[in-house]
Structure 1
Amino acid sequence: MNRYAKDFPILDQEVNGHPLVYLDSAATSQKPVAVIEALEQYYKGYNSNVHRGVHTLGTKATDGYEGAREKVRRFIGAASIKEILFTRGTTTALNLVASSYARSRLREGDEIVISPSEHHSNLIPWQQAAKATGATLKYFELEPDGTLDLDKAEKTITERTKLVAIAHVSNALGTVFPVKELAAIVHRHGGVLVVDGAQGVPHLQVDVQDLDCDFLAFSGHKMMAPTGIGVLYGKESLLESMEPVEFGGEMIDYVDWHETTWKELPWKFEGGTPIIAGAIGLGAAIDYLENIGMDAVEAHDRSLTRYAVERLSALEGLRIYGPLEGRMGSVTFNIEGVHPHDVATVLDADGIAVRAGHHCCQPLMRWLEVTATARASFYLYNDESDIDRLAEGLQKTKEYFGNVLG
């Protein structure tokens, strides 16, 4: 067990009579004691609504909630808390951009460009925006290993391209896309860049001002925070120009019989009682990551991914999808002749948790010419011994189905 695993109580258990090896962090990460205790302290000690009350508990809850916003701002290098909106997660954040920004600006003949490897949450909102506005949805051409050639990408982006949306790190391929370079290309053509940071922010040092992306969406639960909390970063000038899509309490300034005015950023986009405990938990997760240092987290996760690629590449009959070098956080694979669901089931019998399916990337599966894949994904609480257990489990799986099918 590595030095950080002791901070994660859930990992200290057996599954099916074997020590748990959790390799599904791309779906959701485990939570350290510090995050669990932050939630407990909120609910036990100062559970209250925010912003409205002047009593002691309300003030403390507001301080915790808004303090978490400042932690997020610092963590991703935003210029102001006005650029940090709390949402339910990456999906909600991306839909907010599609509904409030894209639909009000796109016209017939405009273009939206995405990659074939996008998660459904960064694909379907743009399909719907294109249908609603008459814009055209286009796709980058990926290289055979799932990477993006910037020269080819630049030829895909035209003067009609108003918006480009892409993941920083592919959830299914582990590809780290060159979003900073892509932002420069998009901006030269007058468009905006939307980045799905769900798999990038937990593993990489992210500075939105350095990347120069226009929007960045990510989820707390993939970076050791609770489920149900996420963030949309947007450049202040863009958010100022956008209209809210949810209306009610919290987000209003003044309500008359027939007209209403909105609060200033970021609160005009946060209607209703917000996700207070989730935000406080996200703040605690950021504290935990910053105490380790995101440079150390990134170095660990890159090293472990390289080791996993090396170990799994040595298994005969196993095919890895995506780049063999430079990927981050996961290895996606299939064993010849064995359905990935069967692979995951056999591994689970040995206490090893991996993902199997289309990973919310059905168009990518068609591009790969498969129906599904298995995926092992890692975080800072994993180490090489976990990868060794995985490799041993996969060898056992091969031998079992070889005997059954042989």
Structure 2
Amino acid sequence: MTREQHRRRLGKRTLQGITSASAAILATLLLVPTCAQAVEPATSAPQETKDSASSAEVARDPAQHSLLREAPQQVNTQDSTPSDVSVTQANADELLKVLLADDSLAASNVKLTGSPLAAGTFAHGQTTLGIDNGLLFSTGDITGGHSALGTPGDSDLDTILGAPETHDAISLEFDFVPKGSTLSFNYVFGSEEYPAFVGSEYNDTFAFLVNGANVALIPGSNNPVSINTVNANTNSGYFIDNSNSTIKPLPGTQFGGLTKVLPVTAPVNKGKTNHIKIVLADANDNIYNSFVAIQKNSMKSLGTVNVHYVDQAGKHLSDDVVLTGNIGDPYTTDKKSFNGYVFQQLQGNEHGTFANQTQEVTYVYSAVPTPVGQSQTNQTNTLADTGTVILPALSLMLLLLTAACGMLVCKRYNS
């Protein structure tokens, strides 16, 4: 092979090599968007939430019930030494004075129904009940000595419970004219039925009827407060288990469990006559006492402030906030922030005092206009989006570079 032929062959191979390398680089660049999309992390699916609510205990064999009901010591083996709580029997008028906080409720036609042994007042109850003093109802003798009082049940509780017939009912009822539009009080429910008879027909219960409607409910529900609706398995966040006798019994009532202090707030007809009935009873038999303790001076008529958050068209931007408080006490409301809206004006008083009449406070917002042509959502260019613009220019530059290199090599080896 002549020297001239060798030069030409070498130049041709060099040109082929440059062209092959350029093609490989170009192919890699063309594949970049696909690869970029392939490595984007997948969004993980949310984990399934587990239902943490425990199911109620299954009712026991009725035959076994009979055996256990005849032997109380087999159910709650508590220390018989009572707590420091002191109890005193009281009549209807005495109970009412302890119950009402102020003159915001003008009461009349007071009536106590049931055994006089089952109603009274208590003191020094903070450690045992979470309430220092107040009114005490029991389905037995509050001072001890009698469990089955032999008094009738209550038709309203029969309706609330359904099938079980009630016994040893105790109730206090009266008419009242409230100065405000809301009524409140605090109470604790406990029983000897805990824990052995949870889920059974021995479902002792308590009700607080305002104009015929029961407002003593498990918070956030329409369920009455009873053995089967609040216990260590159901609505346990409101329950204190005393099956190990950590808390000493009341003078006349042992208890295997009790609720935490539960608040009640109920609407009433301001300035008009309303009716209240507080009632407690055993269910299905009159063995094993239950009790309810109502905080002293906690029953009062409250002032109400309704707070609204709306746009200029009146559309609600969030749920209303309802504030309640003692008449004459101060209140304050909060101005919220909402994405896409700016505060426009306030209707009503941002700060003030609770009054006899319901007050309305409204925060009005206007929508922030979106500039024409501007997306309302933030977008970030991906590598694939950028590649649709950059890759054609890079490809053209690479081809021109390849051609230039080829020409230089050919010229060098042809010279």
| TM-score, normalised with respect to structure 1 | 0.24
Q: Which structure dedicates a bigger proportion of its chain to helix? A: 1
> RCO (CA 8 Å, sep 6+): is it higher in 1 or 2?
1
